[in-house]
Amino acid sequence: MCGIAGIHAYSPVNQSLYDALTVLQHRGQDAAGIVTEQDGKFFLRKSNGLVRDVFHTRHMTRLKGNTGIGHVRYPTAGSASSAESQPFYVNSPYGIVLAHNGNLTNQQQLVRDLFKADLRHVNTTSDSEVLLNVFAHELQLQGKLQPTEVDIFAAVESLFKRCRGAYAVVAMISGYGMLGIRDPYGIRPLVYGQRTDSRGRTEYMIASESVALDALGFTIIRDVQPGEVVYINAQGELFTKKCGPSLTQTSCIFEYVYFARPDSFIDGSSVYRARVRMGEYLANKIMQEHPEHDIDVVIPIPESSRTSALELANHLGVKFREGFVKNRYIGRTFIMPGQAMRKKSVKQKLNPIGLEFKDKNVLLVDDSIVRGTTCQQIIEMARESGANKVYFASAAPAIRYPNVYGIDMPAKYELIAHDRTDQEVGTAIGADWLVYQDLEDLIKAATPSDEVDGAREFDCSVFNGKYVTGDIDEQYLAALEASRNDSARETKDKEDKSAMIDLHNNA
């Protein structure tokens, strides 16, 4: 999962892009990058690390120009090497930079086609570089010295025919403008908006989440539609066109569960409201399965479960308490590579408040359960703090399948719910009982209030194993599993570190 942003303005955008990436930092903590443009020249700064660590004053002063794009990353394809941080650049045609959120499911075929048919070289294992080269090739085929919006749309239309999977994109074409692209299924989110500068001129912004636009004073126009292109040319004129096939929109439902900030809106649906409803529906299920429950207190596992847990407690008529203090300087354990690092980080990240656990029957609420490692350790903390009984509730259904659309879900055998019943998962994590959200209720929770429940479709593949692009088979999943399991990650991390040492020694 990544965060992307692009701004076309009439004053320098370096600080605005920095601020936007800071707001989107929750979407990726591995690397960050910004490219700006001035007088047909790109200025780039990207590296591994948090936004605040990548960009210092000396870097910001070099990012000149009134148009730019930015990216925050954690790796779902390719390695964690700084060589694969984004945005990516290609010099032909015109000079193009691109930042991408998502995952191409036909990346290997595209790499072969780019080499054999398009005569283009891909230098990394990142599918974002593949996407950039496909776009560059299709734009070059338009054969125009000065491309117009018609040429841009034609190139993207061809890109949609070639690229499968999930992708939300911001890109810049040197001297010609900025564009945003959303895949034909609309799996990954993308929104755009406008604001007026002091001289009455309209400036535009495109980003992964609406909260980034809010923070910079942009008024949201709307979400980029599935298969749509938003193009702002160098003169500041806005053009939009649906260039992709007419497919059923299936936004990723896990955005509402975990990734998106609660103050964001995705496809017209409030993430906060969705999480409130998750808590409501989960409380109803607990009352059905455990009508005579003896819960004394509901405690959320910070941060993203707090909204659901509070609503759950209200509906159960049980006290809500903050039982864990979070160290805000530790990254999100779900997106940390390596099991050893995840285990170590849990106790560094959370510390229990003993008074809220001692001699109480506690219901812990989390947004989801992936590997189960974090849940297991937190339940142990609760018992060590004197809890009498420890129950557990997940605001999401059981995750039984890997994600192929840009969320770094592990190999399926590393998912604790894969090939286990709910009761077996509860036993494995050490809970006295466990309750999962029902998928039907999660879908209702994420559906906007002005739509009929069940009228909207979502990508729920991590819960039901149904991959909406229709090109995922066991062979693909086996290859994905081989690249995503912890052993493969640890090997790749060692290779990346060795490469960096060699680079330093040869410098």
CA separation for the pair 492, 507 (Å, rounded)? 22
Under 8 Å between Cβ of 276 and 307: yes
Question: For 6, phi and psi rounded to 5 degrees?
Answer: -145, 140
Tell whether residue 304 is among the known ligand binding residues.
yes
359 annotated ligand binder:
no
Where helices occur in 216-270 by DSSP H, the ranges are: 254
CA distance 369 to 382: 17
**Sequence-separated (6 or more) residues with CB below 8 Å from residue 340:** none
Q: Are strands 361-366 and 219-223 parallel, antiparallel or unpaired?
A: unpaired
Residue type, 400: R
User: Is the link from the previous residue into 93 a cis peptide, with omega within 30 of 0?
Assistant: yes
**Surface-to-core class of residue 72, CB atoms within 10 Å of its CB (0-12 exposed, 13-18 middle, 19+ buried):** buried
Active-site residues, by number, are: 2
Q: Residue 254 burial (CB < 10 Å; 0-12/13-18/19+)?
A: buried
H/E segment holding residue 450: none
Sign of CA dihedral 347, 353, 356, 360: positive
394, 437 Cβ separation under 8 angstroms? yes
- Residue whose structure tokens are 């149904």: 466
Burial class of residue 317, CB neighbours in 10 A (0-12, 13-18, 19+)? exposed
Q: What is the residue type of 435?
A: V
Instruction: Give residues with Cβ within 8 angstroms of 64, minimum separation 6.
Output: 12, 14, 36, 38, 43
Look-up of token digits 């929750």: 26
Residue whose structure tokens are 């950039």: 132
The response to whether 367 counts as a known ligand-binding position is yes
311's tokens: 């609503």
Max CA separation in the chain (angstroms): 75
Q: Check residue 264 and give left, alpha or beta (phi > 0: left; psi -120 to 50: alpha).
A: beta
Reference 170, options 147, 190, 196, 194; nearest CA is: 190
Secondary structure, 3-state, 279-310: HHHHHHHHHHHCCCCCCCEEEECCCCCHHHHH
List the binding residues for Mg(2+).
Answer: 304, 366-367
